[in-house]
Structure formats: C-alpha cells, structure tokens
C-alpha cells in the first residue's frame, strides 16, 4: 500500500522538476498548477519538500531549479568524462594482460563499477557488471585502494561503522593488520587481493587522481588466482599502476 501511495507523488515531483527545467525564468505557483493540474494541497506539499531538499529555489515568487540538481548533474558529468577518458587505456590494458578490467568510483560507502571490459579467455566468470557495487571494501583490491586514498575522515568513519566480514578464509578481519596493509598501499599505490573476496579470484588495483591530486577512482584487473598470484604480483602491480598513472595524467595529475 505504501509503494502505491508514494508512486504518484514521486511522478508528480519529477513532473514539476521537468516542467521548471523548460524555462530559465521559472514558474509561479499558479503557472505550475495550471500546467500540471496537481491538486493544490498536494502541489504545496511537493513544492515545499523539493525546496527544502534544494531541488528547487524560489526567486521573486517563481520556482527555479535548485543547486542540488547542479551538484547531481556535475557528479554524473564527472563520471561520464572519467569513463570516456579511461576507456581507451582500459582497452589497451585488457589487450596487454588479457584479464578483465574494471573502473570504480566511491559512492555512498561503497565502490560503484562505472566501466568494465571483460576478458573472454577467463575460465572463471565474474558476476560484477557495470552498476554493481562492492560494499565490503576490505575484501578486494579496489576497495582497499579507496580506503587508503580517501580523505582520512571518510575512511576512518567507514572502518568504525562497518564490520570486517569474513567472505573467504583469506579475508583480512583484523583491523590492525588491515590498517598496516592500507599504509603500505598508500605508499606503493597498488593493492592486491588473492582470494580475499571470492575463492579462486584475484584483483590488482591502483588509484586514479584528478587534476587536484584527489583520489577519484580505482582501476583494477581481475582474473583467476592461478594466473594472478603472489608469484607474479610485481609484474601485474607495475602494469596496473602504469595505466592508473596514464589516466591520472590525462585528468591533469602529473605527479604520480
């Protein structure tokens, strides 16, 4: 019942935003009412909520788009630009190592995969896809990269509010051991996980920085443990780090 009652309100809220987007000068309450025919009590309530959440603002009694939409649009634009810039390098990396290549950004306490190029020569199927999230950051290489390079207040908050879930016998569940590894990752700019998130699967990851030197994404390769393991970690680590550096330089960061 609750979902049925919320759906019309959500649609009406979207209708309001899409209407206001059509006119830079905005719309008065009467104009919105006349165009959308939303009952006045409901319209008042929706406009108040959208204004409170900064999706709308009011100037001279006219409703205009708010700064929240600007920040959301900027975030989408940034991720799209990152994908466009990173993809040629990801294609080159895929050809070089013949392993799956993934690109993730930190979003709402998890890593969101925004691009993925899959190796068709892998005997193990990876269930991750574009739009998938890594929620347990401590169990995989890109997650550990994020914890190492995010601002300290964000990574500390994450570690203080999330349990170190044991996904495999190889998962790091000791906080001191994890912090020691994160310090090493921050120094070397490369992270590994060998069967820590899933048995028989390894990942190697490095950070990508924007023009301000801020961590903005992680790039990683993923493949079967028998092909990516402790014996060849240096080779794969150097390769992934090289491509992370190339993408960072393309974004304007020269000091990798």
CATH class held by domain 77-250 = alpha beta
Q: How confident is the model at residue 43 (pLDDT cuts 50, 70, 90)?
A: very high
Cα–Cα distance measured from residue 243 to residue 126, given in angstroms and rounded to the nearest whole number: 22
CATH class held by domain 2-65 = mainly alpha
Cα–Cα distance measured from residue 204 to residue 142, given in angstroms and rounded to the nearest whole number: 7
Span 127-181, pLDDT tens digits: 788 999 999 999 999 999 999 999 999 999 999 999 999 999 999 999 999 999 9
pTM for the whole thing? 0.72
Least confident of 21-30, 106-115, 125-134: 125-134
Domain spans, the chain: 2-65, 77-250
Predicted local distance difference test score (pLDDT) of residue 212:
85
Predicted local distance difference test score (pLDDT) of residue 80:
66
Predicted local distance difference test score (pLDDT) of residue 125:
75
Q: Given a cut of 50, is residue 3 above it in pLDDT?
A: no
Residue 245: helix, strand or coil by DSSP?
helix
**What's the Rg (C-alpha) of the chain?**
23
Mean of pLDDT values over 99-122: 92
Cα–Cα distance measured from residue 25 to residue 20, given in angstroms and rounded to the nearest whole number: 9
């Amino acid at each position: 019942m609750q979902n049925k009652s919320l759906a019309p309100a959500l649609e009406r809220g979207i209708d309001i935003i899409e209407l206001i987007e059509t006119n830079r000068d905005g719309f008065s309450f009467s104009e919105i009412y006349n165009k959308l025919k939303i009952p006045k009590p409901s319209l008042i309530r929706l406009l108040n909520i959208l204004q409170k959440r900064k999706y709308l603002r009011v100037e001279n009694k006219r409703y205009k788009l708010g700064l929240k939409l600007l920040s959301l649009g900027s975030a989408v634009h940034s991720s799209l630009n990152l994908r466009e810039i990173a993809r040629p390098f990801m294609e080159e990396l895929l050809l070089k190592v013949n392993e799956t290549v993934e690109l993730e950004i930190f979003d709402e306490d998890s890593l969101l995969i925004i691009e993925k190029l899959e190796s068709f020569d892998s005997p193990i199927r990876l269930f991750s896809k574009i739009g998938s999230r890594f929620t347990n950051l401590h169990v995989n290489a890109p997650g550990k990269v994020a914890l190492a390079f995010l601002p300290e207040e964000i990574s500390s908050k994450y570690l203080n509010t999330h349990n170190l879930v044991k996904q495999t016998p190889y998962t790091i569940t000791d906080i001191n051991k994890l912090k020691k590894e994160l310090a090493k990752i921050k120094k070397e700019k490369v992270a590994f996980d060998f069967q820590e998130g899933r048995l028989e699967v390894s990942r190697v990851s490095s950070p990508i920085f924007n023009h301000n030197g801020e961590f903005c994404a992680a790039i990683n390769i993923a493949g079967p443990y028998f092909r990516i393991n402790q014996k060849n970690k240096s080779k794969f680590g150097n390769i992934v780090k090289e491509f992370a550096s190339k993408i960072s330089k393309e974004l304007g960061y020269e000091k990798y």
